[in-house]
Amino acid sequence: MTKTITFNELRKIKDSLPSGSMAKIAEELGLEKESVKNYFGGNNYDDGVSIGMHIEPGPDGGLVLLDDTKILDIALRMLEEQDS
C-alpha cells in the first residue's frame, strides 16, 4: 500500500515516538535500526538501506511517497498505545 505524506508530518511522527522505538520497529520487521531511521528521513546508508520512500521538494518539507507503510503503521500504533 502506498501513501503520500509531507516530510514534516513524517518527522513529527518520528519525533513523537517514545525512546527506543526505532529499535523496536526494526526488531518487529527484521530490519536494521538505521534502515528504520532512514525511512523517517535519516541518511545513514553505510549501516542501513533506503526503504521505499521518495521525496519531492515542496512546502512542508516536500512530499514523501511511501511505497510500503509497514513502518509508518507500526509507528502510528505505538503512538496510539502511548496515548491510551
Domain positions in the chain are 3-83
Residue 71, classified by CB atoms within 10 Å of its CB into exposed (0-12), middle (13-18) or buried (19+), is: buried
Q: Give the whole-angstrom CA distance, residue 84 versus residue 82.
A: 6
- Tell me the average confidence (pLDDT) per consecutive run of 10 residues in the chain, 84 residues long: 89 95 96 89 60 76 89 96 86
For the full predicted model, state whether its pTM sits above 0.95: no
Dihedral sign, Cα of residue 49, residue 22, residue 58, residue 53: positive
Question: What does the pLDDT read at residue 18?
Answer: 94
What angle do the packed helices 21-29 and 70-83 form, to 10 degrees?
130
Question: What does the pLDDT read at residue 6?
Answer: 92
